[in-house]
Amino acid sequence: MLQKRHLLHWLQKKLCHNEIWIYFYFVIYVLFYIQKHLYSSFTERISNMKPLSSFKPQAVFSDIDGTLLTSEHVVSPLTSSAIHTLTDQGVLFTISSARSLSGIRPIIKKNDFHCCTIAFSGALILDEDQNILYEKGISISDASKIIDVIEKKCPHVTWNVFTSEDWIVKDRTDPHVIHEETVVETTSIEGSLQSLSDTLMVDKILCMCDSEYMSPSETLLRKYFPELSIARSSDSLLEIMAGGINKAEAVKYLCDLRKIPLTSTIAFGDNYNDLEMLEAVGCGVLMGNAPSELQKHFSFVTKSNDQDGIFQAFKELGVLN
């Protein structure tokens, strides 16, 4: 009996000892396997990555306010020179803005840009010679319903109506309107929808308000008009366009027209209405002055619009070489 006990005890010790070694060898094997396969996967990914210096875009898209323009509302010499260098090389440059044509044309003229234009966040697209390629607006009757809701449900909001050529406001003495006229360097017309022909289309309705009223106004308008495209372009500006209108769709339309693959495009923007465009292109670049909430979601954040952010991104990407 005693011998049996000794034998059992000896076997238990042996098993425990062997289990330790089995476990040890198992751990070594797992670590070796992970190291081998992760390294292989990593090196394969690195070898397949295109160096930034070899990225040569066929098209560049840029927002205006907070992106192309500095806080002094001018295009910096470095950025302007870089854009001219690229267009001279055959790269398609396109201004993509929520602004109206009257707010975009002076910038094109002042900087002698030969470029396409995406206005009203994509509701209107023009070629380099200012010929209309695409337009989709809101009917006068639908615009009237939207304004009616704004006036009844959003008392702190100032509405603006834009057609391809005109900017109509209810009150030109409104501080928001005065400020916007200064920024975009164009003049509004005091009037109403009734002054427009029923055959005209409204390209955009712009809502202006103090920042504390922006979120509730946006939520309410989205609830009443889910079929429309509604995008915030700043803390105090809310854009309302026809359904399906956004900068990304405009970029896709223009690239398809010019037979340019989206993978060969760069876009610059600084706000929420640029988000879809930045996600659609091959290389989306967010400006350093963009809201911090947006910056969390982008791997490529360049310098601010006052620090030649566009030029610095071109330099980092190596597109000016």
Residues known to be catalytic: 63
How far from chain centre, in Å, is Cα 216? 23
The two three-digit tokens of residue 38, written as one number: 């992760």
Contact 53, 321 (CB under 8 A): yes
What is d(CA 71, CA 69) in angstroms, rounded to the nearest whole number?
A: 7
Q: Give the residue carrying structure tokens 């640029």.
A: 274
Reduced DSSP (H G I as helix, E B as strand, rest coil) percent helix, strand, coil of the chain, to 5: 50, 20, 30
Q: Read off φ and ψ for residue 105, nearest 5 degrees.
A: -55, -40
Helix (H) or strand (E) holding 93: strand 92-96
Kindly calculate the radius of gyration of the chain based on its CA atoms and give it in whole angstroms: 29
Residue length of the chain: 321
Query: At a CB cut-off of 8 Å and minimum separation 6, what does 257 contact?
Result: 133
CB pairs under 8 A, 24+ apart, for 296-305? 302/268, 305/66, 305/67, 305/68, 305/69, 305/70, 305/71, 305/270
